[in-house]
Amino acid sequence: MLEPLYTAEEMKRAEAGHDVDELMARAGGAVAEEALRRFPDAQRFVGICGAGANGGDGRIALEVLESRGKAARAAEDAPVEEADVILDALFGTGFHGEPREDAARAIEAMNAAGKPIVSVDLPSGVNASTGEVAGACVNATVTVTMHGPKVGLELAPGRFHAGEVVVADIGLDRAETEHRLVTPAILGHVPRRRADQNKYTSGTVLVVGGSRGLTGAPSLAAEAAFRADAGYVAVAVPSSTLAVFEQRLLEAVKLPCPEDEGTISPRAIEPISEFASKAGALALGPGLGRGAGPREVVRRLLADLDRPAVVDADGLHDLEPFERDAPTVLTPHEGELARLLGRESDWIAARRLNAVQAGADDVGAVVLLKGADTLVASPGRGALVCDLGNPGLATAGTGDVLAGIVAAFLAKGMDAKRGAAAAAAAGGVAARLAAESHGTAGMIASDVVEALSPALSR
């Protein structure tokens, strides 16, 4: 369900007490075998090897390749341009910061050569513990990483430099890690409707949003909550939009609310609160709109209700600090998290792990940072990383779908962190199933909703 993701320090502890030469021999042999398997017709291998253990792994790999009849040389003996395949063994897990000028030149030469690159453990220039890239960085074709995946291979921007990642067993014991990788097995821990349950006890969700012109977002969230196995879903929406929802949402109950020029008014707080007292979870924000009125609605509902809640989209805009005991999940993208932290989006993108943890600590709630590597963090704890999706998820509406899934899982009694991680996994697996039917090009959010039930039924 949750697999280890190793930092540099955790790898150091895992290797402690083992014979260094033996580990290097296994690592170098694994790199050579993968290079031979991946590029069987290549004859000339050139390695860029650093002075540390990573460089030692690379030199052993070159020796093994040479013993197999290949022309395998270090870069000082053969120019990179002459290689059929380049071995990147410049920096290992201990690297952090920005490469020095000579190392940066070597990295740039590897990237400019236009040849396949096999990186040893991780691409040179990637911080193994965070995925941060501070300067020049190798663009690997394949990365052969030792023992288990590193944090830096799963998190952006490092993940986008790694190419295909192959894990090599070098004889170390599995260890507990601060950060964990979410697998599809987590979906087996999502409660399903039982024979002794009815529509109310199998999970009830109330979606609050839907300003005029933004009715699609709450519709997607509500449909996703149903497909994520909620038994009862309602939408609280501006009264002038009711006709849209009556036609779009056949199964959902509708609560028409007082409005101010097409957005839910603070006058709606009392009827929403009364209705929400019977809900298992709230989804606040899909299509809510912005301004003082919607902001007050979110603030009061979070303060006054003891229901689990997911806050998404417009619900995050100008979100004020809050304290609540009920499970709470925020689902920002990088721009929304940047606003919450008073930072720029580029700062978030460059250090996603630190940013999501800072968000969770500052807000005092679980934060799910959306992206190719979806990160879920709770205050003071390690992150869960989910990369089960595909590029088809980069389309309008999939965030609303995710909010609906989170709400459904919270309504079923899952704790905030695990429920958010399971929701990210469900959306990712559904996207893969949708791609089997529709392809990733042109995938839309409704395709993901359609695939949710099969994803959870597997």
- Taking alpha carbons only, the member of 227, 363, 218, 327 closest to residue 283 is 218
Q: Residue 74: how many CA atoms within 13 Å on its side-chain side?
A: 13
Sign of CA dihedral 426, 432, 438, 444: positive
The residues with which 311 forms a beta bridge, in sequence order, are 284, 330
- What is the model's pTM? 0.95
The residues with which 286 forms a beta bridge, in sequence order, are none
- Taking alpha carbons only, the member of 112, 187, 128, 172 closest to residue 424 is 187
Cβ neighbors of 380 (< 8 A, separation 6 or more) are: 360, 361
| pLDDT tens sequence for the chain (458 residues) | 899 999 999 999 999 999 999 999 999 999 999 999 999 999 999 999 999 999 999 999 999 999 999 999 998 766 798 899 999 999 999 999 999 999 999 999 999 999 999 999 999 999 999 999 999 999 999 999 999 999 999 999 999 999 999 999 999 999 999 999 999 999 999 999 898 998 989 899 999 999 999 999 999 999 999 999 999 999 999 999 999 999 999 999 999 999 999 999 999 999 999 999 989 999 999 999 999 999 999 999 999 999 999 999 999 999 988 999 999 999 999 999 999 999 999 999 999 999 999 999 999 999 999 999 999 999 998 999 999 999 999 999 999 999 999 999 999 999 999 999 999 999 999 999 999 998 999 999 999 999 999 999 98
Cα separation, 95 vs 239, in Å, equals: 58
Cα separation, 444 vs 104, in Å, equals: 41
Spatial contact of 34 and 27, defined as CB atoms under 8 Å apart: no
